[in-house]
């Protein structure tokens, strides 16, 4: 967002240099909007711009005793994941940059349709810094014809996680890391996060155990209510949709 802003400022300066009022105006708009988005993202991370630019993230968290704790994860298969969806009465999807990379937004629409057939309360929890800039996830989901009323901002949905049967995290990492609430030594401590860990069951769909932008382990992965689904989000969610479709056909 900051680089976009600087490109706008550069365009405006170029407009002055060549005496092009349109270029000055457009550059000014891009520069101002980029700064506005940058401010939104810094606020959502509870960090100042200087802190972010000078390495506020990417540091190793201090571990008591000098030993790094090992996170033990539990994997889940597609069939078991489909069974969890089939038996749930409420589902929240947490999209992240990984969903954008996998281009999985369209299959998410198909998943929502399967859940609606089962009268499941189905929504998307949108964190302000999920993706590359504010609104990134909203645009992708809208592109897949998902209704805007299904996309709920963090402040409006956070209290609902504790009463939710199933949360599916697709390609998100730092925005659901409980260390932001529980570990004062963590670089992301104090950052507002989605309370996905408070749901009854959490399924995290990731390609690997790789770290997010903050460069730290996600404590959620080791929680007893968390199951890991490793692989391409589009393929795995597509397989879950097929399982649910087959189950619907069998019931029909």
Phi-psi label, residue 233: left if phi above 0, alpha if psi -120 to 50, beta otherwise: alpha
CA distance 173 to 96: 8
Residue 14 half-sphere exposure toward CB, CA atoms < 13 A: 11
CA distance 216 to 63: 12
Nearest to 47 by CA among 130, 125, 129, 126: 129
Q: Is 174 a catalytic residue?
A: yes
CB-CB contact of 52 with 42 (8 Å): yes
CA distance 24 to 52: 29
Q: Which of 20, 174, 197, 232 is catalytic?
A: 174
DSSP, res 153: E
Task: State both tokens at 16.
Answer: 């002055």
CA distance 171 to 65: 32
Map tokens 């069939």 to a residue: 79
Active site residues: 174
């Amino acid at each position: 967002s900051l680089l976009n802003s600087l490109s706008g400022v550069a365009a405006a300066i170029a407009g002055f240099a060549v005496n092009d009022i349109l270029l000055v105006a457009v550059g000014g708009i891009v520069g101002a909007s980029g700064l506005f988005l940058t401010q939104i993202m810094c606020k959502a991370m509870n960090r100042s711009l200087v802190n972010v630019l000078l390495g506020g993230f990417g540091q190793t968290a201090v571990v008591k005793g000098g030993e790094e704790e090992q996170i033990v994860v539990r994997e889940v298969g597609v069939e078991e994941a489909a069974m969890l969806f089939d038996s749930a009465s409420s589902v929240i999807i947490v999209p992240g940059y990984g969903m954008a990379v996998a281009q999985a937004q369209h299959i998410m629409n198909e998943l929502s349709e399967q859940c609606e057939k089962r009268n499941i309360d189905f929504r998307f929890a949108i964190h302000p810094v999920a993706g590359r800039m504010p609104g990134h996830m909203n645009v992708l989901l809208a592109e897949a014809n998902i209704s805007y009323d299904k996309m709920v901002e963090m402040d409006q949905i956070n209290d609902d996680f504790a009463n939710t049967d199933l949360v599916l995290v697709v390609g998100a990492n730092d925005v659901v890391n409980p260390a932001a609430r529980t570990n004062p030594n963590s670089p992301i401590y104090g950052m507002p996060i989605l309370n996905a860990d408070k749901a009854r069951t959490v399924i995290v769909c990731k390609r690997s155990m790789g770290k997010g932008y903050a460069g730290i382990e996600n404590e959620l992965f080791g929680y007893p209510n968390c199951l890991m689904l490793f692989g391409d989000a589009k393929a795995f969610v597509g397989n879950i949709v097929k399982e649910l479709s087959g189950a619907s056909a069998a019931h029909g």
